[in-house]
Amino acid sequence: MEINKFRLLASQKISGLVNTRLPLSIKTLICKGIELITDIHIHIFNRKSVPAGIFIFKFSQVGWDRFLSFLSFGLRTITPFRKDSATDKTSRFIKEMDSDSVIIFNNVKNIYPTDTVFCVLMMDLHNKNRGFDESADNYIRLQWADICNLIDKGENILPFLCIDPSYQDGQRNCLDLFLEFFSGVYGKIPFGIKIYPSLGYLPSHPLLMEIFAICEQKDIPVIAHCSSGTIHNHKRLMTNIEGLRYKNGQFVNCKEWKFFANGNVYAEYFNSPNNWTPVLSQFKNLRLNLAHFGGAEQIEKHIKHGNSWVTKIIELCENYPNVYSDLSYTLACASISDIKYIYESTIMKEKFLHGTDLYMILNEGNQRNILDSFVIGIGSEMYEKLQNNNRKFLSI
């Protein structure tokens, strides 16, 4: 879609009223005066709704199905391992990913009190730069169908649509996708958007900047991956990486190329919170969650040296009223005492959000045990404060 047309149609067709994006079940809870408990960061996609072999190998879908089934069976029944060993955790994760999305969601839901609200984040993992030739629409629609099925069953879900500036389906690009979903073309409307930069793009990509302008205008929240991670682009040499860079005293859009020697380099380059400086300098009221708070290693680095991604995230939270950071996945790995210290001594008392990254944290152990240990570790007062911050971020 041409940019000027997008600006006009998005301004006209997308509502700025938060309640127009709320499912009936959540509106009902709010009308009853219930103070909502939320998990701001979970996933329910399974192996059928992501490209074959996204984590390790490239298979046909049939080959991928057979490989996962064999691996899961082998890990659970053939390979000897102790409970909570790395092998055991991998087995449980693969078994969960092999499940129906309803089962995955129920396994998360059953950990929480009745009426908990869940932000379900979609993932666009099709990108052709990562070696998959299938249409993105297939996977996006499969994930959307699973989410809508659960909402139709009365589940308390706030969907976050995955957005990737490289998305292309015929003549349609990510602007078309965003406009179609948020103007209600597919029935239900997402609550926010999710981006995952290490899939191969900068947050200040020109198409994302157009979408962020509408998100700020219409009060649509953005959740962005902001830590290391196993999911990333697989193209070693990337050319034409487009985004805003600081030159001659101002941010200018330009392209550059970069060689990526390993997965860590993708995360360091694309996921850094420093990449959000040019975005927020332009959209100062953007409602943004820098998810994972940089990760456990960055928290430890901040505590020891005071110069890490965590340091930058805190700075952004101080400087911009609607920037927050959840502790998803990080809560399973980081020191609770370090998290509490940062909470007590910085702006993060007002900006930490509660999210878990269920079911991804199966890679770290039992989901219920991880959540229980975290909640007990931080104490009821801090947990209630995080829940209050969630409500502020979501405006519910």
Q: Has residue 258 got a pLDDT over 80?
A: yes
Q: Has residue 350 got a pLDDT over 50?
A: yes
3-state secondary structure of 326: strand
- Mean pLDDT, range 286-304, rounded to an integer: 97
**Domain tally, the chain:** 2
CA separation for the pair 339, 332 (Å, rounded): 12
Taking a C-beta distance cutoff of 8 angstroms, is the pair 149, 187 a contact? no
Q: Do 233 and 90 sit in the same domain of this protein?
A: no
Q: Do 24 and 85 sit in the same domain of this protein?
A: no
CA separation for the pair 160, 42 (Å, rounded): 10
CA nearest to 197, candidates 172, 216, 222, 180: 222
Least confident span in 98-102, 160-164, 189-193, 326-330: 98-102
**Boundary-marking domain end, from 73, 98, 123:** 98
Q: Do 264 and 212 sit in the same domain of this protein?
A: yes
Q: Do 84 and 232 sit in the same domain of this protein?
A: no
CA separation for the pair 192, 189 (Å, rounded): 9
Is 261 or 89 the better-scoring residue by pLDDT?
A: 261
CA separation for the pair 175, 211 (Å, rounded): 7
Confidence bin at 69 (pLDDT 50/70/90): low
**pLDDT confidence of residue 109:** 97
CA nearest to 186, candidates 195, 194, 178: 178
Q: Has residue 56 got a pLDDT over 50?
A: no
Q: Do 79 and 148 sit in the same domain of this protein?
A: no
The CATH number for 349's domain is: 3.20.20.140
pLDDT digits (tens, 9 = 90+) for 178-220: 999 999 999 899 999 999 999 999 999 999 999 999 999 999 9
Taking a C-beta distance cutoff of 8 angstroms, is the pair 68, 98 a contact? yes
Q: Do 318 and 178 sit in the same domain of this protein?
A: yes
Domain span including residue 26: 3-46+101-394
Taking a C-beta distance cutoff of 8 angstroms, is the pair 316, 290 a contact? yes
Taking residue 321's Cβ as centre, other Cβ atoms within 10 Å add up to 13
Q: Do 7 and 71 sit in the same domain of this protein?
A: no
**Boundary-marking domain end, from 98, 128, 158:** 98
- Mean pLDDT, range 349-363, rounded to an integer: 95
For Cα atoms 202, 205, 211, give the angle at the middle one, nearest 5 degrees: 115
Confidence bin at 61 (pLDDT 50/70/90): very low
Least confident span in 64-78, 204-218, 288-302: 64-78
Q: Do 309 and 383 sit in the same domain of this protein?
A: yes
Is 277 or 71 the better-scoring residue by pLDDT?
A: 277
Q: What is the mean pLDDT of the chain?
A: 89
288: Cβ contacts below 8 Å, ≥ 6 apart: 221, 222, 223, 224, 276, 280, 320, 322, 323, 324
Is 176 or 66 the better-scoring residue by pLDDT?
A: 176
- 314 vs 292, 306, 345, 346, CA distance in Å? 13, 11, 11, 8
Is 317 or 237 the better-scoring residue by pLDDT?
A: 317
Confidence bin at 7 (pLDDT 50/70/90): very high
DSSP structure class, residue 332:
G
pLDDT digits (tens, 9 = 90+) for 86-136: 666 777 788 888 889 999 999 999 999 999 999 999 998 765 444 545 566
Pairing of β 222-225 and β 288-291: parallel
- Mean pLDDT, range 246-264, rounded to an integer: 88
Q: Do 326 and 287 sit in the same domain of this protein?
A: yes
Q: Do 240 and 351 sit in the same domain of this protein?
A: yes
DSSP structure class, residue 329:
T
Output the furthest CA–CA distance in the chain (Å, rounded): 61
Q: Do 56 and 151 sit in the same domain of this protein?
A: no
For residue 329, is it left (φ>0), alpha (ψ between -120 and 50) or beta?
Answer: left
Start-to-end CA distance of the chain, whole Å, equals 32
Residue 137 C-beta-side C-alpha neighbours within 13 Å:
12
Taking a C-beta distance cutoff of 8 angstroms, is the pair 200, 268 a contact? no
**pLDDT confidence of residue 234:** 78
Q: Do 88 and 225 sit in the same domain of this protein?
A: no
**Boundary-marking domain end, from 59, 79, 98:** 98
CA separation for the pair 110, 99 (Å, rounded): 16
**pLDDT confidence of residue 91:** 76
3-state secondary structure of 160: strand
Q: Has residue 60 got a pLDDT over 50?
A: no
**pLDDT confidence of residue 84:** 60
CA separation for the pair 313, 66 (Å, rounded): 42
